[in-house]
A and B are shown apart, each in its own frame.
Chain A
Amino acid sequence: SYILTQPPSVSVAPGKTARITCGGNNIGSKSVHWYQQKPGQAPVLVIYYDNDRPSGIPERFSGSKSGNTATLTISRVEAGDEADYYCQVCDTSNDHWVFGGGTKLTVL
């Protein structure tokens, strides 16, 4: 089965840039979605189709891909960005959705 690998945690100071990676074999050929989940809440879509932002998501959130890694970048990090972030792709070999293990973003 397809596996997505995320770092368990990322820490960043307010105002700085956070980069959360998502590694997967041949991920460049797949469409990556990113979700933000705050404690006690349902996930919220923050990036879809690699680098599109839903309405209401700040421009500070962006996505990219290079090689076998997708990256969620959060610029000018704010305290309110502290949350767990999950990447998601569809394994088109069996049409199964796969989530990464999640990354806890801590704002110092």
Chain B
Amino acid sequence: DAGVIQSPRHEVTEMGQEVTLRCKPISGHNSLFWYRQTMMRGLELLIYFNNNVPIDDSGMPEDRFSAKMPNASFSTLKIQPSEPRDSAVYFCASSLTKDTEAFFGQGTRLTVV
């Protein structure tokens, strides 16, 4: 398996624009997580899906952020409108179940100018 695949790897956008980040989890994994990493706050959960259903979205900063998982092999994280403070590295991770080893993608480095 190729592991967790994220796209794009880098995204530079202007403030106010819509940004969509994509993730393909490892086949057969039922749990999918979106995390954000910043220098100040480290790694923090944004949202957790189990069997394509959002279970914990307590980490989603505000209504500008939304995430979907239309099927077991694809998830998106959307920011609309984007702001400079959203600049960070966004990681997608998947695991067989929520109790098992988590595997991370390479991340998307987002810069909002």
Partners in one complex: no
**B interface with A by C-beta (< 8 Å):** none
**A interface with B by C-beta (< 8 Å):** none
